[in-house]
Amino acid sequence: MAEKIATRVAYGKALAEIGSDENIVVLDADLSKSTRTDLFKKEYPDRHFNIGIAEGNMMTVAAGLASCGKTVFASTFAMFAAGRAFDQIRNSICYPNLNVKIGATHAGISVGEDGASHQAIEDLALMRSIPNMTVIQPADGVSTIALVKQAAKIDGPVYLRLGRLDVPIIYPEDATFEIGKGVTIKQGDDIAIIATGLMVEPAITAAKTLEEQGISARVIDIHTIKPIDVDLIVKAAKETGAILTCEEHNIYGGLGSAVAEVVVRHYPVPMEMLGIEDKFGKSGKPADLLPMYGLTPENIVDKAKKLLERKRG
Amino acid sequence: MDAQAVLRLKRIATEIRKGVITAVASAGSGHPGGSLSISDIMAYLYFEKMNVDPKDPKNPDRDRFVMSKGHCSPALYSTLAHRGFFPVEDLNGFRQASSYLEGHPNMDKVPGVDMSTGSLGQGISAAVGMALAGKLDRKNYRVYVVMGDGELEEGAVWEAAMCAAHYQLDNLTAFVDYNGLQIDGKITEVMNPEPIADKFKAFGWEVLSIDAHDFNQIEEAVKHAESVKGKPTVIVAHSVKGKGVSFMENQVGWHGTAPKKEQAQQAIEELDAYLASLG
Ligand SMILES: Cc1ncc(C[n+]2csc(CCOP(=O)(O)OP(=O)(O)O)c2C)c(N)n1
Ligand SMILES: [Mg+2]
């Protein structure tokens, strides 16, 4: 695999790989070249339907197909999936617990130049609040392919939060993943950095910097935001006594909130959340926007050190 | 349809209406108006037309039905109960915490319900998905969906209308229960969806207009829809909201109000008298 690949591209590749299963149907809303469901369409044109610019309709068409036994992947940008079609996702997909997998690409500010109207920073909050929904955000191409394949196998709705930006491969080709189980990428006892999506890689970089400064940081990739890996998080709280979450999402309602819900209920420790500070994104190159919004290894290091001061009292 | 068949369906439709009243009255809430306007079409579909089996409600080859106007669950439940999917007595538990008969249809809980609905404007999309699946699987089942005329104000209906025509879903038949009323008043006054027939025509559908309470017209339209190739059919069914209960007919207030005990009794007496008049 290339050194860098966007998770949306890995998603399209995974669909093309599992497409030999005749039960799989893929829907798109006039964005197949961006969501990369075109990779599936090339192989299986008869099972790819363009629904046009009509995301609400697409979600419930997916529900209808699923009610007849199909496993349906419905794709559009995260903004128009979770945002525009929330009611359809809740009432037509999740309430009847149907086998629809939502491939929501272009999540977060790393969309870049299109700007705030296209940068969903609220979708994790929306999607994880719906009963029956599984919410997944892979960190790299390898985990994306594995998790898309697993999503196809589990029964019920799944929201796959995917990115536009090319991101580094973190995992070896043969790494294994399980929906609902976080991955401890690096051990450490002073603090746990729990990250998701494209923030996993800067978390690893930050942990290295901290190590050089004598701070032992654990790094955990929470690719499944719901159901969240309670055991792994509680273990991290007990063994490190401080947790910093990192995500490309509003600090309200996303990974930070999900981890805090576990921590306060099971083993309260000082926590800090790094994410988008409750403001809209803007246009720009992703490489300019990520630092502008504090989504950098340097900021992780900074927040980690401040959190450690709190931990020490 | 011969006279005997019409008579049989009239009796069934009246039993369905009695079930609607029973369900809504025992719950003390629910939607009688739009349930009564659609009862004849429900009787025709489930007792004359559709290939369904109460003993095998999930059979993959069955015809599908979507009550897109999910608030008319009383009509759907009463029809399913009388068709043998579950005991008619269970209608007494409608909307109660101890019952599986949710206020709006739930496909996981209620045998015979093919799609969960309640949020208006989505059922037709679900029906499009089912019809697409039928095409993909080369199955012969047909998909029926019932929408309200007020429901047509939801923009998503027209996304689905476009989609059904685009994919030439001739295995899909939609009904519009054209009773002219929604919650806040006449559809033409609240937010006029007219001209309904012309809109569907413009979207590429075969369009038929019928009297929703005439079984011969219902049958003719449904059979015509089956013969149409390459496009979906909508049957604009001119109906009377509250049909069959004199004091509910054409009254906007009976959209979502349950009859009190004496009113329910009067309604049942009227329906029984009609049954008796049929001989
Ligand atoms: C999306 C949505 N908005 C609003 C409602 C509330 N509501 C329930 S019934 C109704 C009126 C429906 O009128 P119509 O479609 O004409 O139904 P009918 O006359 O057949 O009962 C409304 C607004 C709803 N269920 N779903
Ligand atoms: Mg109406």
* Residue A192 sits in the same domain as residue A84: no
**Ligand 1 atom nearest residue A87's Cα:** 1
Provide block-wise average pLDDT over 10 residues at a time, chain B (279 residues).
Answer: 97 98 96 98 98 98 98 98 98 94 95 96 97 98 98 96 98 98 94 97 98 98 98 98 98 97 98 96
Task: Tell me the CA–centroid distance for residue B182 and ligand 1, in Å.
Answer: 6
When divided into structural domains, chain A yields a total of 2
Pairwise CB contact (< 8 Å): A68 & B159: no
Q: Which residues is A6 bridged to in the sheet?
A: A166
* CATH fourth-level superfamily of B3-278: Thiamin diphosphate (ThDP)-binding fold, Pyr/PP domains (3.40.50.970)
State the best of A67, A70, A93 to mutate against chain B, taking most chain B CBs within 10 Å: A67
Q: Is the dihedral of CA B240, B245, B246, B247 positive or negative?
A: negative
CA B182 to chain CA centroid, nearest Å: 15
Residue of A65, A87, A91 with shortest CB distance to B116: A91
E runs forming strands in chain A = 4-6, 24-28, 48-50, 71-77, 100-105, 134-136, 158-161, 166-168, 183-186, 191-195, 217-221, 224-226, 243-250, 271-276
* Residue A263 sits in the same domain as residue A164: no
Q: Give percent above pLDDT 70 in chain B.
A: 100
* Residue A201 sits in the same domain as residue A266: yes
Touching check for B162 and chain A: CB below 8 Å? yes
As a whole number of angstroms, the distance between CA B127 and CA B117 comes to: 11
Residue appearing with tokens 């990520």 = A290
Touching check for B159 and chain A: CB below 8 Å? yes
* Residue A188 sits in the same domain as residue A164: no
* Residue A109 sits in the same domain as residue A206: no
Pairwise CB contact (< 8 Å): A63 & B156: no
Task: Tell me the CA–centroid distance for residue B89 and ligand 1, in Å.
Answer: 27
Tell whether A158 is covered by a domain.
Answer: yes
pTM assigned to the model: 0.92
Q: Which residues of A are designated catalytic?
A: 55
What is the domain range of residue A262? 183-312
Residue numbers of chain A with a pLDDT score lower than 70: 1-2
* Residue A158 sits in the same domain as residue A16: yes
* Residue A25 sits in the same domain as residue A148: yes
ipTM score: 0.86
Tell whether A173 is covered by a domain.
Answer: no
Task: Tell me the CA–centroid distance for residue B189 and ligand 2, in Å.
Answer: 12
Residues A183-216 pLDDT 10s: 999 999 999 999 999 999 999 999 999 999 999 9
Domain of A66, CATH number, reads 3.40.50.970
Domain end, chosen from A168, A199, A215, is at: A168
